[in-house]
Amino acid sequence: MVGALIGAVEQGLIYGIMALGVYLTFRVLDFPDLTVDGSFVTGAATAAAMIVMGYSPVLATLVAIVVGFVAGVGTGLLHTKGGINPLLSGILMMIALYSINLRIMGWTVENAVGRPNIPLLQSETLFSQYTAWATSLGIPVEISIILFAAVGVTVVKLALDAFLKTEVGLALRATGDNKRMIRSFSGNTSTLTILGLGLSNGLVALSGALIAQYGKFADVGMGIGMIVIGLASVIIGEALFGTKSIVRVTLAVVIGAVIYRLVLAFALRIEFLDTGDMKLLTAAIVVLALIVPGKLGETKKRLARKRLQSKSVTKGGTELVNHS
Amino acid sequence: MLTIRNLHKRFNESSHDEKIALHDLSLHLNDGDFVTIIGSNGAGKSTLLNCVSGTLQGDGGTIEIARNQVDSLAEHARAKWIGRVFQDPMAGTSPSLTIEENLAVAHARNRKRSWRFATSKTKRDHFRAALEVLHLNLENRLTTKVGTLSGGERQALSLLMATFTNPSLLLLDEHTAALDPARAELITQLTKQLVNDQQLTTLMVTHNMQQAIDLGNRLIMMDQGKIIYEADAETKKQLNVQHLLEEFKKIKGSHALSDRMLLEV
Ligand SMILES: Nc1ncnc2c1ncn2[C@@H]1O[C@H](COP(=O)(O)OP(=O)(O)OP(=O)(O)O)[C@@H](O)[C@H]1O
Ligand SMILES: [Mg+2]
């Protein structure tokens, strides 16, 4: 059980990077970007393919980020230059990436065009290199990966926080907030949207590259429902920690990703649930996270109103009773 | 500063409800001119300002701002010369950004945006000093989100932001119309002050005739996409609302006086 929990936290932290990418498009840019399901796999496929071909895991991971960035730029171009609506732009890019991901993985075998998965069992990965190094320093194996993931996601979070406070970052936030306003202050909303989508999908691809190395496996289907998982993390984080400031929300989003994994880990311990039910569970979690806070607010208001009414009834007589 | 030559703009071209919004309109503003524009609903005032800012592309004619031909430039590319305040108090600021962040966005208008932090100690001092002019105590609320400000406060901030980088041209489209009378008066006073201090070249649309007379050094009246009356600096000094109404009657016939122009005297 403890092992499963540790595993869930490790994964949650790595998926947290993907959730930060989703936060950047859905919340900051106000652009519901569905590229994520594809670009997550693109990151995994690129990293896995390069590692199998003998490149260093660090280089493979960096290239994965760049390829993810390019995918996001593609979605941005479809929307800003092609005039295609945001949802459809993302869906088109996602479906195109499915084929591209097969091709990327296909590069690892001669004479084959596409390939649906790459195992990394025998290969050096960022994690195998790191754990070897950590063990030599005397850091216990059980916590070394958590440390690695925590430091990694923290670096990404802080970098994102910092970026969103730069002049370019402010313009990007304003683009999601009020396009008319930022245009009147020389902001090119097309370029900014493209940049935001690129950065977001770069993060998503990084997360995919890390998950592939963590699980020693890249698979063309590993991105299915990724956007919903990202959204779940954002919504859970925001619901629990609020949206007061960017620094706080980005932290909340990462914690949301971890909580999501923990909930899933517990749910999977229930007898009749199977790993195949994970997507259904994910959808259920998002639905709950979307509906419950609103309903809670309503109930609170209704109770408050009732209390007020009963007060005025006792004070002012009976005339209010029949109206309610 | 601003030269408009034979500007033409049609909507819904060659359909049954084609509408000529601007009809071969020409206008020249010298450095420091403050021109107020009045005219009935649908006269083409907003269309004129939108063509100048690049929000709309004209169908014919040329526009020059600060000696730059801008016809082929997109809205954001022209914006380095143009400050704008919209009628909607929500339109000119970014609600989820703080006051200082909004000012930083305005501050970067005529430079290339950098990857460095948008706010710094020196900038903050500069922002504070600028905000003091508004007398709304916003200088002590730099980290407040703009979305939580009142309409009047937001419009005052919009005005400050629009004039922040000393634009070559300031465009105001009924920017006091959505406010209650007290707030409108405040924004009017601020407009006067900010334009005066920086000697900004300004085009201001208003439905309030008295405001059109009180502010600026020139006044034009528009109707059906054309300038139908123009008062230069000398004439404008003598002008009063009664005069204007008579001018309007002379040109349009008395039936036009049921117009909204009358209501807002
Ligand atoms: N996007 C558009 N599509 C079609 N017609 C338009 C459009 N924008 C403006 N018009 C028409 O062009 C004419 C001029 O409109 P404009 O908004 O410039 O008037 P205005 O002088 O600003 O009026 P108001 O005082 O009501 O603001 C109007 O007849 C209007 O219906
Ligand atoms: Mg108008």
Q: What per-residue confidence (pLDDT) applies to A322?
A: 42
Residue A323 confidence (pLDDT): 42
Domain ranges, ordered by start, for chain A: 2-223
- For the ranges A207-221, B7-21, B87-101, the lowest mean pLDDT is seen at B7-21
Give residue B48's pLDDT: 97
Q: How confident is the model at residue B253 (pLDDT cuts 50, 70, 90)?
A: low
Identify the pLDDT of residue A279.
83
In this predicted structure, what is the pLDDT of residue B193? 94
- Could you give the residue ranges of the DSSP H alpha helices within chain B? 45-53, 75-78, 99-107, 121-132, 151-162, 181-198, 209-214, 233-238, 241-252, 260-263
Tokens representing residue A209 in the block: 């590259």
Cα(B235)–Cα(A189) distance, rounded to whole angstroms? 44
**Cβ atoms of residues B262 and B245 within 8 Å:** yes
Residue type, A237: G
Q: Residue A300: what pLDDT? A: 77
Q: What 8-state DSSP symbol labels residue B150?
A: -
In one letter, which amino acid is B17? D
Question: Residue B226 forms beta bridges with which residues?
Answer: B223
Q: Are B74 and A186 in contact (CB under 8 A)?
A: no
The rounded distance, in Å, linking the Cα atoms of B213 and B265 is 11
Strand locations in chain A (E): 117-119, 217-219
In this prediction, the residues of chain A whose per-residue pLDDT falls under 50 are: 314-324
Q: Which domains does chain B have, with CATH numbers?
A: 2-89+169-258 (3.40.50.300)
Closest CA to B92 of B158, B181, B10, B7: B158
Average pLDDT, chain B: 91
Q: Angle at the Cα of A160 (from A156 to A163), degrees rounded to 5?
A: 140
Q: Would you state the pLDDT for residue A160?
A: 98
Among A218, A150, A216, A164, which Cα is nearest to A192's? A164
CB contact under 8 A, B113 and A162: no
pLDDT, tens digit (0-9, with 9 covering 90-100), for B176-207? 999 999 999 999 999 999 999 999 999 999 99
Q: Hey, of B75, B76, B115, which one would you mutate to test binding to chain A, going by the most A CBs within 10 A of its CB? A: B76
User: According to the model, what pLDDT value does residue A318 have?
Assistant: 39
Instruction: Please give, one letter per residue, the 3-state secondary structure of A88-115.
Output: HHHHHHHHHHHHHHHHHHHCCCCCCCCC
Whether A182 and B94 lie within 8 Å, measured CB to CB: yes
pLDDT at B255: 54
Residue B249, pLDDT > 90, answer no
Residue B111, pLDDT > 60, answer yes
pLDDT at A316: 41
Task: Give ligand 1 pocket residues (Cβ under 6 A).
Answer: B 11-12, 19, 21, 39, 41-47
Q: What is the value of pTM for the model shown?
A: 0.90
ipTM: 0.92
Neighbours of B16 (CB within 10 A): 5
| CB-nearest partner of A183 from B75, B101, B115 | B75
pLDDT given at position B190: 94
Query: A200, A22 in Cβ contact below 8 A?
Result: yes
For residue range B36-46, list pLDDT tens digits in order: 999 989 999 99
